[in-house]
Amino acid sequence: MYPPVVLFAKTMFRVLDLDLRVEGSGHVPARGGAVIACNHVSYLDFIFCGLGAQPAKRLVRFMAKKEVFDHRISGPLMRGMGHIPVDRKAGRGAYDEAVARLRAGEVVGVFPEATISPSFTVEDVKSGAARMAAQAGVPLIPMAVWGSQRLWTKGRPRNLTQRHVPVSILLGEPLRPGPDEDADAVTRELRQRMSLLLDKAQAEYPDKPARPGDLWWLPAHLGGTAPAP
pLDDT at 40 over 90: yes
Q: What is the pTM of this model?
A: 0.96
Judge contact between 127 and 114, C-beta under 8 A: no
Cα gap 39→187, rounded to integer Å: 13
Q: What is the pLDDT of residues 150-160, one digit of tens each?
A: 999 999 999 99
Q: Which helix (H) or strand (E) holds 10?
A: helix 2-16
Cα gap 182→175, rounded to integer Å: 13
Q: What is the pLDDT of residues 104-139, one digit of tens each?
A: 999 999 999 999 999 999 999 999 999 999 999 999
Other CB atoms within 10 A of residue 40 CB: 24
Strand 140-146 and strand 84-86: the pairing is unpaired
Domain residue ranges in the chain: 1-60+90-222
